[in-house]
Amino acid sequence: MRLNLTINGARHTADDVWPGESLLYVLRERLGLAGSKNACEQGECGSCTVYFDGTPACSCLIAAGQADGHDVVTVEGIAEGEDALHPVQQAFVDAGAVQCGFCTPGLIVAAHNLVERHDDPSDEEIREELAGNLCRCTGYEKIIDAVHLAAERKQEAGS
C-alpha cells in the first residue's frame, strides 16, 4: 500500500508498505527516521515511543495501515531546530540521565509528555508515567532527576 502520514509536521509518503508491518518499521526502515529505537517489538520497553495523534504510544504496536492519514511526532520532532535541544533533552544531558542512550529517545518523548501535563511531578508520578520505558544503565535515578530539572526550568521560564 501507499502510506501517507504527517511526521513532525511534514507530509511523508512511503510506497510498497506491507500494512501489517509496524509504524516503527516504517519510520526506521522506510523513512530513515532512526531516532525511535527497535528493541522488544512487543510494547515492553518503550524505546519506540512516539506521539500518535498527540498521545504517547509504542510505534511497534501500531500497524502501518492504521497510521495512514495520521499525525506522528517522533523524537526527531521534539527539538525546534537541528542544532537546538528541547529543554527536556537539555535536562537529560545536564542531569547525566543518558548512558548508552538506547532508551533515551523513548524516554524523551515520554518525559516531554509528562512535563507538558504536570507542572511539578512527584517522584511517584514520574515513576508511574515512565513505567513503560526500560533503561538498563542508569538505575533511573538520574532520569527522575532530569524530569524534575525539566519541570523546574519550565516553571521558572513560565513565571
Partner 1 sequence: MDFIRPSTWQEALEARSAVPGAVAIAGGTDVMVELNFDHHRPPALIDLTGIAELGRWRIDRAGDGNGSGGDTVRLGATVSYTTVIDELAEQLPGLALAARTVGSPQIRNRGTVAGNLGAGSPAGDSHPPLLASGATVEVESVRGARSVPIDDFYTGVKRTALADDELIREIIVPAARGPQQFSKIGTRNAMVIAVCSFAVALDPRERTVTTGLGSAAPTPRHASDAESYAAEQLPWHDRDPLADAVARRFGELVAAAASPIDDVRGQADYRSHALSVMARRTLGWAWEEYRCA
Cβ atoms of 4 and 12 within 8 Å: the answer is: yes
Which range binds partner 1 by CB under 8 A, 27-35, 38-46, 79-87, 91-99?
Answer: 38-46
58 binds partner 1 (CB under 8 A): yes
Does 20 bind partner 1 (CB under 8 A)? Our answer is: yes
Q: How far is the CB of 63 from partner 1 (least distance, A)?
A: 6
- Distances 110 to 17, 29, 32, 42, 65 between C-alpha atoms, Å: 27, 23, 22, 17, 24
**Measured from the CB of residue 46, what is the shortest distance to partner 1 in angstroms?**
6
Q: Kindly report the backbone phi and psi dihedral angles of residue 78, in degrees, each rounded to the nearest multiple of 5, phi listed first.
A: -75, -45
Rounded to whole angstroms, the Cα distance separating 32 from 140 reads 29
Binding site for partner 1 (CB under 8 A): 1, 18-20, 22, 41-44, 46, 49, 52, 55-58, 60-63, 65-66, 68, 110, 128-129, 131-133
